[in-house]
Amino acid sequence: MAEIFIIHLFSTSSIINNTIFSKTDPHGIKIISIKQ
C-alpha cells in the first residue's frame, strides 16, 4: 500500500516528490519511475 501511495503522489506532483526523494533516497526515484 505504501508503494501505491508513493506512486500516486509521484504521479500527482512529480516535481515536488522528485525533490523530496532526491534529498531522502536517490534510489527511491528510480524504483518509483520503473513501477510508474
* pLDDT at position 1 over 50: yes
DSSP 29: H
Q: And the C-alpha cell for 12?
A: 500527482
Confidence category of residue 36, pLDDT binned at 50, 70, 90? very low
Predicted local confidence at residue 18, as pLDDT:
61
Domain count across the chain: 1
Q: And the C-alpha cell for 33?
A: 519511475
| Domain membership of residue 19 as a residue range | 2-35
Please state the pTM of the whole predicted model. 0.20
Which of the pair, 1 or 8, is modelled with greater confidence?
Answer: 8
Q: Which residue's entry shows cell 500500500?
A: 1
* pLDDT at position 30 over 50: yes
Cβ contacts of residue 22 below 8 Å, gap of 6+?
Answer: 29
The Cα 32–Cα 24 span in angstroms is: 13
